[in-house]
Amino acid sequence: MIEDELVQFDKSINEFWNKFFNTASDTSCQMVALRDAYKDSIKAFAEKLSLKLKEEDRMVEMFLEYKNQICRQNKLIQEKKESLSKLLAEVKCKKQEIQVLTANIQDLKEEYAKKKEAISTTNKAIEERLKRLQKSADIYKNRLGLEIRKIYGDKLQFIFTNIDPKHPDSPFMFSLHLNEAGDYEVSDSSPHLECLAEFQENLRKTNNFSAFLANVRKVFTAMVYN
Protein backbone atom coordinates (compact mmCIF):
# COMPACT_ATOMS: atom_id res chain seq x y z
CA MET A 1 0.00 0.00 0.00
CA ILE A 2 2.86 2.31 0.79
CA GLU A 3 4.44 1.64 -2.55
CA ASP A 4 1.15 2.15 -4.30
CA GLU A 5 0.71 5.44 -2.41
CA LEU A 6 4.22 6.49 -3.28
CA VAL A 7 3.64 5.67 -6.91
CA GLN A 8 0.36 7.52 -6.78
CA PHE A 9 2.01 10.49 -5.06
CA ASP A 10 4.83 10.48 -7.57
CA LYS A 11 2.29 10.39 -10.34
CA SER A 12 0.42 13.27 -8.79
CA ILE A 13 3.63 15.27 -8.46
CA ASN A 14 4.52 14.60 -12.08
CA GLU A 15 1.07 15.64 -13.23
CA PHE A 16 1.30 18.79 -11.11
CA TRP A 17 4.75 19.57 -12.47
CA ASN A 18 3.72 19.01 -16.06
CA LYS A 19 0.64 21.12 -15.55
CA PHE A 20 2.71 23.88 -13.86
CA PHE A 21 5.35 23.73 -16.54
CA ASN A 22 2.80 23.99 -19.29
CA THR A 23 1.07 26.88 -17.51
CA ALA A 24 4.40 28.65 -16.90
CA SER A 25 5.39 28.09 -20.50
CA ASP A 26 2.15 29.64 -21.73
CA THR A 27 2.58 32.59 -19.35
CA SER A 28 6.20 33.01 -20.40
CA CYS A 29 5.19 33.03 -24.03
CA GLN A 30 2.53 35.60 -23.26
CA MET A 31 5.07 37.73 -21.38
CA VAL A 32 7.54 37.48 -24.22
CA ALA A 33 4.81 38.47 -26.67
CA LEU A 34 3.82 41.38 -24.47
CA ARG A 35 7.46 42.39 -24.10
CA ASP A 36 8.02 42.27 -27.86
CA ALA A 37 4.84 44.22 -28.49
CA TYR A 38 5.90 46.77 -25.89
CA LYS A 39 9.34 47.05 -27.48
CA ASP A 40 7.75 47.50 -30.91
CA SER A 41 5.42 50.15 -29.54
CA ILE A 42 8.29 51.92 -27.78
CA LYS A 43 10.38 51.76 -30.96
CA ALA A 44 7.52 53.12 -33.10
CA PHE A 45 6.80 55.82 -30.55
CA ALA A 46 10.52 56.70 -30.39
CA GLU A 47 10.71 56.90 -34.19
CA LYS A 48 7.55 59.01 -34.29
CA LEU A 49 8.88 61.20 -31.47
CA SER A 50 12.23 61.56 -33.28
CA LEU A 51 10.44 62.64 -36.46
CA LYS A 52 8.32 65.07 -34.43
CA LEU A 53 11.42 66.52 -32.77
CA LYS A 54 13.16 66.89 -36.13
CA GLU A 55 10.08 68.60 -37.55
CA GLU A 56 9.95 70.91 -34.54
CA ASP A 57 13.67 71.68 -34.99
CA ARG A 58 12.96 72.59 -38.62
CA MET A 59 10.05 74.74 -37.50
CA VAL A 60 12.30 76.47 -34.94
CA GLU A 61 14.96 77.05 -37.62
CA MET A 62 12.32 78.41 -40.01
CA PHE A 63 10.92 80.63 -37.24
CA LEU A 64 14.38 82.00 -36.45
CA GLU A 65 15.05 82.56 -40.15
CA TYR A 66 11.72 84.38 -40.55
CA LYS A 67 12.50 86.39 -37.44
CA ASN A 68 15.91 87.37 -38.87
CA GLN A 69 14.27 88.28 -42.16
CA ILE A 70 11.71 90.42 -40.34
CA CYS A 71 14.52 92.13 -38.41
CA ARG A 72 16.36 92.84 -41.65
CA GLN A 73 13.16 94.10 -43.29
CA ASN A 74 12.44 96.32 -40.29
CA LYS A 75 15.99 97.68 -40.46
CA LEU A 76 15.60 98.40 -44.18
CA ILE A 77 12.22 100.01 -43.55
CA GLN A 78 13.75 102.20 -40.83
CA GLU A 79 16.59 103.21 -43.14
CA LYS A 80 14.05 103.99 -45.89
CA LYS A 81 12.03 106.07 -43.43
CA GLU A 82 15.14 108.02 -42.42
CA SER A 83 16.11 108.54 -46.06
CA LEU A 84 12.56 109.62 -46.88
CA SER A 85 12.55 112.02 -43.92
CA LYS A 86 15.85 113.55 -45.10
CA LEU A 87 14.51 113.78 -48.65
CA LEU A 88 11.30 115.44 -47.46
CA ALA A 89 13.35 117.89 -45.37
CA GLU A 90 15.51 118.70 -48.42
CA VAL A 91 12.42 119.11 -50.59
CA LYS A 92 10.89 121.42 -47.99
CA CYS A 93 14.12 123.43 -47.83
CA LYS A 94 14.30 123.64 -51.63
CA LYS A 95 10.65 124.67 -51.73
CA GLN A 96 11.37 127.47 -49.27
CA GLU A 97 14.41 128.51 -51.33
CA ILE A 98 12.24 128.55 -54.47
CA GLN A 99 9.65 130.67 -52.67
CA VAL A 100 12.38 133.11 -51.58
CA LEU A 101 13.84 133.20 -55.11
CA THR A 102 10.37 133.71 -56.56
CA ALA A 103 9.76 136.60 -54.18
CA ASN A 104 13.19 138.08 -55.05
CA ILE A 105 12.49 137.69 -58.76
CA GLN A 106 9.15 139.40 -58.31
CA ASP A 107 10.84 142.24 -56.42
CA LEU A 108 13.46 142.53 -59.16
CA LYS A 109 10.73 142.58 -61.81
CA GLU A 110 8.90 145.35 -59.98
CA GLU A 111 12.14 147.27 -59.45
CA TYR A 112 13.06 146.78 -63.12
CA ALA A 113 9.61 148.01 -64.19
CA LYS A 114 10.00 151.09 -61.99
CA LYS A 115 13.50 151.78 -63.32
CA LYS A 116 12.32 151.18 -66.87
CA GLU A 117 9.49 153.62 -66.35
CA ALA A 118 11.87 156.13 -64.76
CA ILE A 119 14.34 155.72 -67.63
CA SER A 120 11.53 156.11 -70.13
CA THR A 121 10.38 159.28 -68.37
CA THR A 122 13.96 160.57 -68.25
CA ASN A 123 14.49 159.76 -71.93
CA LYS A 124 11.32 161.62 -72.83
CA ALA A 125 12.46 164.59 -70.78
CA ILE A 126 15.87 164.46 -72.47
CA GLU A 127 14.24 164.28 -75.88
CA GLU A 128 12.10 167.29 -75.03
CA ARG A 129 15.15 169.23 -73.85
CA LEU A 130 17.11 168.25 -76.93
CA LYS A 131 14.22 169.44 -79.07
CA ARG A 132 14.23 172.76 -77.22
CA LEU A 133 17.98 172.98 -77.66
CA GLN A 134 17.64 172.30 -81.34
CA LYS A 135 14.93 174.92 -81.59
CA SER A 136 17.09 177.42 -79.72
CA ALA A 137 19.96 176.50 -82.00
CA ASP A 138 17.91 177.20 -85.06
CA ILE A 139 16.91 180.57 -83.65
CA TYR A 140 20.46 181.62 -82.71
CA LYS A 141 22.28 180.02 -85.60
CA ASN A 142 22.02 183.02 -87.90
CA ARG A 143 21.99 185.69 -85.22
CA LEU A 144 24.89 184.42 -83.13
CA GLY A 145 26.76 182.41 -85.71
CA LEU A 146 26.02 179.29 -83.66
CA GLU A 147 26.44 175.74 -85.01
CA ILE A 148 25.53 172.61 -83.10
CA ARG A 149 27.10 169.22 -83.81
CA LYS A 150 26.43 165.82 -82.32
CA ILE A 151 29.70 164.19 -81.28
CA TYR A 152 30.83 161.06 -79.41
CA GLY A 153 29.29 160.13 -76.11
CA ASP A 154 25.87 161.54 -77.08
CA LYS A 155 27.24 165.05 -76.60
CA LEU A 156 26.29 168.22 -78.39
CA GLN A 157 29.10 170.56 -79.42
CA PHE A 158 28.20 174.25 -79.60
CA ILE A 159 30.40 176.28 -81.90
CA PHE A 160 30.23 180.12 -81.95
CA THR A 161 31.64 182.20 -84.81
CA ASN A 162 31.51 185.90 -85.67
CA ILE A 163 32.97 186.72 -82.26
CA ASP A 164 36.45 187.90 -83.26
CA PRO A 165 36.05 190.77 -85.76
CA LYS A 166 39.52 190.12 -87.12
CA HIS A 167 38.86 186.41 -87.55
CA PRO A 168 35.06 185.95 -87.88
CA ASP A 169 35.40 182.24 -88.73
CA SER A 170 37.43 181.43 -85.58
CA PRO A 171 35.46 178.88 -83.50
CA PHE A 172 34.64 179.30 -79.82
CA MET A 173 33.09 176.11 -78.50
CA PHE A 174 31.97 173.95 -75.60
CA SER A 175 30.26 170.55 -75.21
CA LEU A 176 27.04 169.71 -73.41
CA HIS A 177 25.14 166.54 -72.56
CA LEU A 178 22.48 165.29 -70.12
CA ASN A 179 23.57 162.86 -67.41
CA GLU A 180 21.53 159.89 -66.05
CA ALA A 181 19.69 162.20 -63.67
CA GLY A 182 18.66 164.39 -66.60
CA ASP A 183 20.86 167.34 -65.52
CA TYR A 184 22.95 169.48 -67.86
CA GLU A 185 26.71 168.88 -67.88
CA VAL A 186 28.93 171.38 -69.69
CA SER A 187 32.58 170.59 -70.55
CA ASP A 188 35.39 170.90 -73.06
CA SER A 189 35.24 174.65 -73.60
CA SER A 190 37.75 176.10 -76.04
CA PRO A 191 39.17 178.49 -75.14
CA HIS A 192 38.86 177.43 -71.52
CA LEU A 193 36.26 179.29 -69.42
CA GLU A 194 36.82 179.49 -65.64
CA CYS A 195 33.19 180.41 -65.06
CA LEU A 196 31.80 177.41 -66.94
CA ALA A 197 30.95 175.48 -63.76
CA GLU A 198 29.03 178.49 -62.41
CA PHE A 199 27.11 178.83 -65.69
CA GLN A 200 26.28 175.10 -65.54
CA GLU A 201 24.88 175.44 -62.01
CA ASN A 202 22.74 178.43 -63.01
CA LEU A 203 21.45 176.54 -66.05
CA ARG A 204 20.39 173.61 -63.83
CA LYS A 205 18.58 175.94 -61.45
CA THR A 206 16.84 178.18 -64.02
CA ASN A 207 16.60 175.84 -67.02
CA ASN A 208 16.95 179.02 -69.13
CA PHE A 209 19.11 177.76 -71.97
CA SER A 210 18.84 180.96 -74.03
CA ALA A 211 20.31 183.01 -71.18
CA PHE A 212 23.04 180.40 -70.74
CA LEU A 213 24.06 180.63 -74.41
CA ALA A 214 24.00 184.42 -74.28
CA ASN A 215 26.21 184.47 -71.16
CA VAL A 216 28.73 182.02 -72.68
CA ARG A 217 28.93 184.13 -75.85
CA LYS A 218 29.42 187.27 -73.77
CA VAL A 219 32.34 185.67 -71.94
CA PHE A 220 33.95 184.50 -75.22
CA THR A 221 33.49 188.03 -76.63
CA ALA A 222 35.00 189.61 -73.53
CA MET A 223 38.01 187.31 -73.85
CA VAL A 224 38.59 188.53 -77.43
CA TYR A 225 38.42 192.20 -76.55
CA ASN A 226 40.52 191.75 -73.44
Mean pLDDT by 10 residues, the chain (226 residues): 71 78 70 74 79 84 86 87 86 87 88 84 76 68 77 87 89 90 88 91 91 91 88
Note the pLDDT of residue 136: 65
Note the pLDDT of residue 107: 87
pTM: 0.41
Note the pLDDT of residue 158: 92
Note the pLDDT of residue 142: 65
Please count the structural domains in the chain. Answer: 1
Residue 19 placed within a domain:
no
Residue 162 placed within a domain:
yes
Q: Could you say which DSSP state residue 193 is in?
A: -
Note the pLDDT of residue 77: 86
Residue 206 is part of which domain span?
A: 130-225
Residue 220 placed within a domain:
yes
Half-sphere exposure of 51 (CA within 13 A, CB side): 5
Note the pLDDT of residue 116: 85
Note the pLDDT of residue 1: 59
Residue 118 placed within a domain:
no
The sign one gets for the Cα dihedral 73, 75, 81, 86 is negative
Note the pLDDT of residue 137: 62
Sheet holding 155-160, edge to edge: 146-151, 155-160, 172-178, 184-190
Residue 148 placed within a domain:
yes
Residue 65 amino acid letter: E
Note the pLDDT of residue 25: 67
Which ranges in 145-208 belong to alpha helices (H)? Answer: 196-206
Note the pLDDT of residue 179: 86
CATH number at residue 197: 3.30.457.50
Note the pLDDT of residue 33: 74
Note the pLDDT of residue 144: 63
Residue 1 placed within a domain:
no
Note the pLDDT of residue 141: 66
Residue 151 placed within a domain:
yes
Note the pLDDT of residue 124: 80
Q: Is 140 exposed, middle or buried (0-12, 13-18, 19+ CB in 10 A)?
A: buried
